[in-house]
Structure 1
Amino acid sequence: MSAKSEAKENGPDSKPMLGNRLFEGHKKYELTEETTCGVWFLRGDFLQRFANQKSYVFLYGLMGLILSAAYSYFNGTITTIEKRFQIPSQTTGIISVGNDISTLLVGAIITYFGGKGHRPRWMAFGLYTVVLFCLLNALPHFLYGPGDDALSLTMEYGGSTIDHNATQDALEKFHSSSLCKAKIESDDGPEAEGSSAPAIILFISQVISGIGGSLYFTLGVAYMDDNTKKSQAPVLVSLSYFIRMLGPALGYTLSSLCLKWYIAPTLTPKIGNGDPRWLGAWWIGWLLLGFIMFVVSSLLGLFPHTLPKAHYRRQISKMSNKSQVEEPDTKASVQDMIVTFKRLIQNKALMCTNGASIFFFFGYMPYWIFMPKYIEIMYKTSASEASLVTGAIGLVFSALGILAGGAVITKYKPKARSMALWNMTVAAISAVGLLSYTALGCPYTHDPVGEIQNGTVNYNSQCNADCHCDYVKYTPVCMNGNPYISPCHAGCKSYVTFENGSKIFTDCTCVKNQTAQGVPLPPIAYPGPCPADCSSQFHIFLVIICILKFVGATGRATNFLVALRCIDEKDKAASMGLGSTLMSSLAFIPSPIIFGYIIDTTCLVWGKTCSGKGNCWLYNAGQLRYVLSFSAAFFVFIGTMFDVGVWYLVKDLNVFDDKPPKPPVVDEELKNLKNDPPKFGEDR
């Protein structure tokens, strides 16, 4: 289409052109409002050179990296947040589904209308809500501070000298309050620190983030697919997924670094980060993530409505197929939205694909949200180490799997049935891998000493019956490999402090020490949990995680292509919005709540206050491992059955549009344009 003919088509009353060149070569074409980068006064040749699919894929992937880092940072700091504000895992699960609740309520609707408008600007608007999400997550720290318990374990507030042996030092006052006492001054226990307000703030922040997350994931991929050739879509989508998948690694690594600092960085802690009472600086990362996200989302909003290269291809296609009647683009309306969603729900292949994803994510959700917590419980690692391992190792293999899957699809262009068959294989391997977790427990850990009564463990036995330990905080002690919840539960009435600052508890009525020959020893206990060597099982667990993440990630591109090609071109954004709504309502919302409840049922030691129970300090690792693994594998297996249905329904689906095209109707204007093709920068 020449500049002269375009002027005729626009007419004398049309808006003036913007003066930027669409193509550089022998012919020059004026940019339209639809293909121009920038907003308001932020326009020009400098921005226009980035109006290509490579720049978009990179920036879209970078934004996904930061977004994924934010969500994984929350997961990496869950245990610290629970300890700081005394939040049970079930409540944490409810908090984590806040973003899915907003996706359920408005995701499909806002995605439908956003898909009809300027999609990059809609994405930028949505991502600003995620910036607010980051700031709100840090707000509870500024409102409530580090907490009295954390302050009491610092040199500035607790006095005494520093001892870097975390399990051998505590404050005199704290030791005294944890001893066995024959009498108590009051029947009232300690009040719960803080209130439910921190949990409410965290929940609200999650709800707000769901708007931006749904717009990013749905409109972003649809915009990418609309502005690329079908043959290039797999590798570009895989590349953006690859960049995005590095985000969780960044998020967990950032949480690991932040948790190594004490929750009050300006104070000097008297315990090390291996102590179960350690609270890391969980709030710092949110400030950094919010700032970076604001900058990148602003840049993403500068992309044009349609990339110039894609706009040129569409003009060629229209001129080549003048004999075909082009279906007009329907304007956004409530009536059209209802018709669109009804059409999508009646698509069997699409609904089976969504069903497979729902059950797969339902089963894997607890391991994504609670993985650092699971590693801490199962293999006795610190919160910092658990976050670092989760992000830096397992998720890197996910990113590599996405790249490998995209490269194979781009090179060999498999049929839809082959892709569906591979999805079935991936699901089956995942189910078997989850079952293998049951064999990877740590045999060197023991539960606290207590008596089993009516199927439950009672830690108030005869030896500590007069100690009144109900409201004593979790302060583990150990003797001869037998752990106790606190010196009080071990019946210890006093302690001895040595010159080097270390301490031992004495006069412990529940501790029976003797030599191999049966000679009795003084009834003493040592501060801190009993040592446990779980390194062998932990390393095997990491190897299996890496294999499962790599294999599972190779199916991302295949699942995406099958879901996108089984619908009409005009329904892409609406289809992804519907899929997000279904995923939120049937997987992302119920799964964390259900599995959070399951995790809480395996708790052995709850923090106790007069107003109720707080967070869990110690779990039954063996019971948790079996219940979690079998439940997750069951849901993934059901998802495999839906993959079988997808395999059956997509036998005639064309993924790469490799059918020979009809002979085009070529006129003189199109002929001249093809003989003298314009150069288009770096995007070919």
Structure 2
Amino acid sequence: MVEINLPKEKNHDADDKLLWNGTYKIIRDQPYGSPVDESHDAVDGSNDAVNKMIETMVENRDIECGISCFRGSLLQKFANKKAFVIAYGICSLMLTASAGYYIAIGSTLEKIFKISSVTAALISNGNNIGLLITCNVLSYCANKGHKPRWMAAGLFIMTISCCLFFLTHIIYGPGQDLKHLTNNDHSDLSIKTIMLHQRIASLCHDKEFNTSTLHYDHSKDGNIGAQMILFTARFLHGISDAVLFSLGLAYMDDNIKKSKIPILIGISYLIKMAGPSIGFQFSAITLSKFILLNSTPSITPNDPRWLGAWWLGWIVFSVIIFIMACIMMCFPKTLPRAEARRLLALRINQSNDNNNDKNNNNNDTNKEVKEVVSFWSTIEAFIRLAKNKTLVCINIASVLFVFGYCPFWYHVVKYIEVVYQLSASVSASETGNVSLWCGGLGIILSGIIVATFKPSARYLAGFNAFSCGIACLGILSYTFINCAANENQIIQMKAVTSNSGRLLTCTDSCTCEFSKYNPICTEDNRTFVSPCHAGCQHFTTGEDGSITYTKCSCVNSKDQGLPSEIYDNHLPSPTERLGTAKPGACKVDCTDQKDLFMIVFSVITFIVSAGAVPSFLLSLRCVDKRDKALTMGVNLAIIGLFALMISPIIFARIFDDTCLFWGKTNTSSGNCWLYDSGKLRYRFNLISAAFVGVGTFFYMAVWYLVRDLKIFDDEKNRAVRF
């Protein structure tokens, strides 16, 4: 029997078995040391009792907001769950937004630092490596410590990561290729000379032409130092992710009522979905700005050579995350109300020694805890999980699905750029909209439906199989959504392009092996990868600074006047009339095909997101209660090792294998400037659909195996099943 009454007067009789909390008295009957049950009605329902208990907890630094001398009543007002949830939500949003931002600027980084898609994927994997390593370390170090300060440390690490990205731009700059793509009136004679030499180098030269006289410095092309800095930044990003997300959920579980935890977990899932979308949208703004903010570019964002101000976003992220780190470190080790509930619950449970059933349950719980910390019991737990057919099928299906669908998280922006000839900023913006609205709506609706109708395990597994099958069919449909105008243009460019030089007889006298990607559009509306590949022997500069390439042996045209200043590479002028060309690729319109792709992509994103909740519930319910935590850890490790780390590299290799024109450097092939979009479209989507399709069959096996699995406690009492 437990009483909580407001006394008329205090009685401090030593023989009276009463504990005073300041105003309330709680009768104690149970010996000290019994487990605390914070879900007791007397604790959850007595806000006054909790408030009075808080008033008595003086000189307890564990519940005080602030750090060192920065404490006080003003800060203490924020020592509550609402303030923490808001701060944690902003921190999570910034970390996931920065992850989406990095994905969106991936193709820009490849162009600037002249790295292949595979190399870019390996750099990106630094995040997964840091995440996996840190998760193991945290289980031993940070779990029992001051969690908000550990999270603040993780945020400070993320600030360093953002600064490293910006530092890479400061050290290596935009590259020398960008200098001749501006209309600035350079006062520096050396810069004007470099620009002139680069334009001359792009022309058709005979084999005896000495390119060393152009004085172009390749020393910064494909610099390994830049790659190491980027990898380190991604590694630190992974550490920050592991610290914030694991300890953040643990802190909420320790300090917030258990009945409210599912809601908060749902909010965290929604934030993780919204964060990358915000990152995509933010990248659309920064990438639309030229990488040299103080320069006027001579090309538009639709030009494949355009490089946006990718570094600008990291300044914003670093400032916001640093501020949030300072705020996070001020939260107490334990929230005051949580500590008050714990003390009240301790006193209440000490009065319940007559509850034998509860004591037996506690003894069983203690045995389970001892079993977990035992080495051999852990081995036995792994064996139990390995023998669980349902869990094995779920894990295999998850790995296969994530492996096949992962490319549409990591490479979808670049895929849209290549196949539908859109700029990086537009691709990132449209992808962000789909992820935010369709993905978020799918998670919210599935959570509401599952909570309302409480479907059986078979319905949940059936929906997973259905969503996986729909995703497979949708990915297959991508192979038929092509832009014919773009692919026809690439076929024409492919005819005069190879990694070893030229193929057409009209460029027999030209040596184009080391020509840089400098697309031109001829007057007969054909695109060539460089003036050399079109056989252009001269270029002229108009009064407005515009460039016109002339005497192009692969272009037939009428006679053209040659205005202003003319630069000749000393090749003999042919007797036939030759055509002209303008810088930049010929425009193609793929709007209709892109819109159709985005519609299908939106539907698939919605359905796939809706399957997240059923998959999570099945994974938890198909194992013993004592194995749930281990199950989540094993699932995360398996997906991380066999899907998230390998899949981006495999599909990046597909991009590299379909490359038609590499930007060569002194030490490597550099980055790819032109892809065979038709070949890429088939290989990318068919391989992805194959993995997702096989995963569908394993989800069908799960549907068969969960016929007797109970998901909800009241499932047998419901007359109507969903």
TM-score range, shorter chain: 0.7 to 0.9
Is residue 2:181 matched to residue 1:137? no
Give, in whole Å, the separation in 2 of the partners of 1:65 and 1:158. 42
CA contact (8 A) 1:513 1:523 kept: yes
Deviates more, 1:329-338 or 1:597-606: 329-338
Deviations 1:144-186 (A, max 9, x none): 22322223433447569xxxxxxxxx95543322111223115
List alignment gaps of at least 5 residues for structure 2. Answer: 5-18, 21-25, 33-42, 189-193, 560-575, 718-722
Change (3 A) 1:644 1:128: farther
Q: Pick from 625, 642, 645 the counterpart of residue 586 of structure 1.
A: 642
Matched residue, 2:562: none
Residues 155-304 of structure 1: pairs in structure 2 closer than 5 A = 155-156=183-184, 158=186, 172-182=196-206, 183-186=208-211, 191=218, 193-194=220-221, 195-221=223-249, 235-297=263-325, 299=327, 302=331
CA contact (8 A) 1:141 1:283 kept: yes
Is residue 2:533 matched to residue 1:489? yes
Give, in whole Å, the separation in 2 of the partners of 1:559 and 1:208. 30
List alignment gaps of at least 5 residues for structure 1. Answer: 12-20, 161-169, 662-684
Secondary structure in 2 matching 1:506: strand
Secondary structure in 2 matching 1:609: coil
Opposite residue 518 of structure 2, the aligned amino acid is T
Residues 272-671 of structure 1: pairs in structure 2 closer than 5 A = 272-297=300-325, 299=327, 302=331, 308=338, 322-326=358-362, 327-328=365-366, 329-330=369-370, 335=375, 341=382, 343-445=384-486, 446-447=489-490, 449=492, 459-479=502-522, 480-513=524-557, 522-569=578-625, 571-658=627-714
Give, in whole Å, the separation in 2 of the partners of 1:121 and 1:560. 30
Q: Sequence identity of aligned pairs in percent?
A: 36
Secondary structure in 2 matching 1:613: coil
Give, in whole Å, the separation in 2 of the partners of 1:181 and 1:259. 35
Is residue 2:110 matched to residue 1:97? no
Deviations 1:75-109 (A, max 9, x none): 11111111111011110011111121233445345
1:452 Cα offset (Å): 6.2
Secondary structure in 1 matching 2:490: coil
Secondary structure in 2 matching 1:494: strand
1:313 Cα offset (Å): 11
Q: Pick from 87, 91, 95 the counterpart of residue 63 of structure 1.
A: 91
Is residue 2:115 matched to residue 1:87? yes
Change (3 A) 1:27 1:144: closer
Change (3 A) 1:481 1:192: farther
Greater gyration radius:
2
Which TM-score applies when normalising by structure 2? 0.78
CA contact (8 A) 1:227 1:310 kept: no
Opposite residue 478 of structure 2, the aligned amino acid is Y
1:399 Cα offset (Å): 1.2
Secondary structure in 1 matching 2:294: coil
Change (3 A) 1:27 1:254: closer
Give, in whole Å, the separation in 2 of the partners of 1:437 and 1:7. 69
Deviations 1:494-536 (A, max 9, x none): 1333444433322111123589xxxx97422232101101000
Give, in whole Å, the separation in 1 of the partners of 2:183 and 2:239. 44
Opposite residue 590 of structure 2, the aligned amino acid is C
1:559 Cα offset (Å): 1.8
Give, in whole Å, the separation in 2 of the partners of 1:180 and 1:495. 11
Give, in whole Å, the separation in 1 of the partners of 2:160 and 2:139. 20
Which TM-score applies when normalising by structure 1? 0.82
Give, in whole Å, the separation in 2 of the partners of 1:291 and 1:86. 29
Give, in whole Å, the separation in 2 of the partners of 1:637 and 1:96. 26
Secondary structure in 1 matching 2:121: helix
Deviations 1:369-396 (A, max 9, x none): 1111111111111111111111133432
1:551 Cα offset (Å): 1.3
1:62 Cα offset (Å): 3.2
Secondary structure in 1 matching 2:521: strand
Opposite residue 595 of structure 2, the aligned amino acid is H
CA contact (8 A) 2:620 2:628 kept: yes
CA contact (8 A) 2:286 2:313 kept: yes
Deviates more, 1:580-589 or 1:598-607: 580-589
Change (3 A) 1:370 1:483: same
* RMSD, aligned α-carbons: 3.9
Deviates more, 1:527-536 or 1:563-572: 563-572
Give, in whole Å, the separation in 2 of the partners of 1:212 and 1:558. 28
Opposite residue 48 of structure 2, the aligned amino acid is G
CA contact (8 A) 1:181 1:493 kept: yes
Give, in whole Å, the separation in 2 of the partners of 1:429 and 1:247. 25
Equivalent pairs counted in the alignment come to 640
Give, in whole Å, the separation in 2 of the partners of 1:77 and 1:325. 54
1:540 Cα offset (Å): 0.7
